[in-house]
Amino acid sequence: MSHVLRGGLTRLEMTTKITLAVLALASGVYTYLGVRGLLNGTETLVFLGALVYSVAVSVGIYAFWSYLLRFLPHIRHAANRRLLYVAMVVGSCMIIAMSSWLNAAALAGGAALEQHLANAIEDYQQTLDKAHSNALAAQGLLPDIHLASQRFARLARGERQSGVLTGTSGSGTVVQLLTQMSSQLNGLARQVEDSREQVRSLFNQGGRHLAQMRKLVSSPGPIEARSNAFAEEAVALTGVIAALQQSSIAPAVKRTADNLARSFIAPVADGRSGDLAERQTEVVGKVEKSVQAQSRALSQAAEEILVRQPAQPLKFTPLSTPEAVLRYATDFLPSWAGAISIDLLPAVLILILCGVQAAIRRDEGGELEAHTVTADDMMRAMRLYRTIHEEELAALVIRPGEGARRVDVDESKVARAEPNLHVDQHAKDLGSSNIAPLPSAGKKK
């Protein structure tokens, strides 16, 4: 089992390096696209700055994951492994901070800016509708004004024709007063009607600006140019909304209604007889009370319109693509996931390697080094051992009797004398249980 796993690791080593290089390169490319929108200056300066930053990001990502891929799967001590895991988490956070959000800006920056423009259109639409509603609110007073004017005109006709108020027909003081009140109310009604046309014209103009803004959002082309044109339309629409706020006739209605009561001057009765003059004075008093009541009603209705919350003119704020991606991050979660996955996918490879190495250690036991000894390593170790043993024998001094003499040892004799001892001792030194002793060489006759 362990041989299969080791063979798979060997065959996939080049694939792992290529994969890591491609991921680092892809992250660098998208980082370049993202950071380019943040830099200001000449075109050459922006290009060089973005290129240097993206290259630094690619190299940093490749080096970071290469170190972890090389060392982390082989660490056995728990404390050291935890330390490397902490380093991997800290490095991943740094990669997200310096690269992933720029990758997301490159992947979803245009869509995020379009989302920002679309949200701005909704805000402008609501503000325009509110300003239009406030401007038209005074139009609701028009029926009351017409009814009051018609009532005074009807009383004037009745008094002129049959004397319904004073009992004496003719165009006297009462008729003139009633006609004057009707004329004032008619003039107020005409002002309200004229304002309706102005409000309609302004609202249509604002609608055209909104239509152009929607067209800019949905049309193809560079988003930066469309955003600039959108800002121009937004400024023009803000002026239309302000004009709508000022075109409301409600303040004029309130002032006119208040003036009806304050400026009322009772005319002197012009009856030829004292009885007629007395009746005219009495009718004039009733007309004054009626005018005051009508004035209070119109003034109160206009006041209710004026206390409404006015439509606040909006200010369009252009955003860069990274700013738009950060502001509308929840709307582009798939793009964020893709941008982060490009940078953090090697972490999955590290976990896979850790699992494979753990399986190899469980299968082979603790003596992993013995499974990696080659035949060349074995022959080199045997030659080294023979050299050391020969030097020890050559330095041995044998003292028979009085003197001492050095004994030269033939290497072939040493090899024939204790071959099994040499091999067994070397196997013990290597810690291997899979190396069988070499057969003893036969003695030459």
> Quick one: what percent of the chain has pLDDT higher than 90?
13
Count of CB atoms within 10 A of residue 404's CB?
Answer: 9
- Same domain assignment for residues 92 and 123: no
Residue with tokens 């045997």: 382
Classify residue 319: in a domain, yes or no. Answer: yes
User: Which of 109-118, 165-174, 375-384, 432-441 shows the lowest mean pLDDT across its residues?
Assistant: 432-441
- Same domain assignment for residues 360 and 417: no
- Same domain assignment for residues 392 and 415: yes
Number of domains in the chain: 3
Classify residue 445: in a domain, yes or no. Answer: no
- Same domain assignment for residues 307 and 160: yes
- What single letter denotes the amino acid at residue 306? L
User: What is the reported pLDDT for 62?
Assistant: 94
pLDDT digits 0-9 by tens, 21-36: 999 999 999 999 888 8
CA dihedral 240→242→243→247, nearest 10 degrees, is 140
Q: How far is CA 45 from CA 40, 223, 327, 389, in A?
A: 8, 22, 27, 71
- Same domain assignment for residues 177 and 273: yes
Write the burial class of residue 291 (CB in 10 Å: 0-12 exposed, 13-18 middle, 19+ buried): buried
pLDDT digits 0-9 by tens, 326-375: 888 888 888 888 889 899 999 999 999 888 888 887 777 655 555 556 67
- Same domain assignment for residues 384 and 424: yes
CB 385 within 8 A of CB 426: yes
Angle ∠(414,417,419) on CA atoms, nearest 5: 90
- Same domain assignment for residues 131 and 37: no
Collapsed DSSP state (helix, strand, coil) of residue 50: helix
Residue 94 domain boundaries:
2-109+330-364
- What single letter denotes the amino acid at residue 374? T
Choosing from 340, 364, 388, the residue where a domain stops is: 364
pLDDT digits 0-9 by tens, 61-71: 999 999 999 88
In 307-433, alpha helices (H): 321-327, 333-364, 375-394, 411-417, 419-430
CB 174 within 8 A of CB 284: yes
Choosing from 316, 346, 364, the residue where a domain stops is: 364
- pTM recorded for the entire structure: 0.61
| Higher pLDDT among residues 324 and 302, named by residue | 324
Per-residue pLDDT band at 430 (split at 50, 70, 90): very low
- What single letter denotes the amino acid at residue 109? G
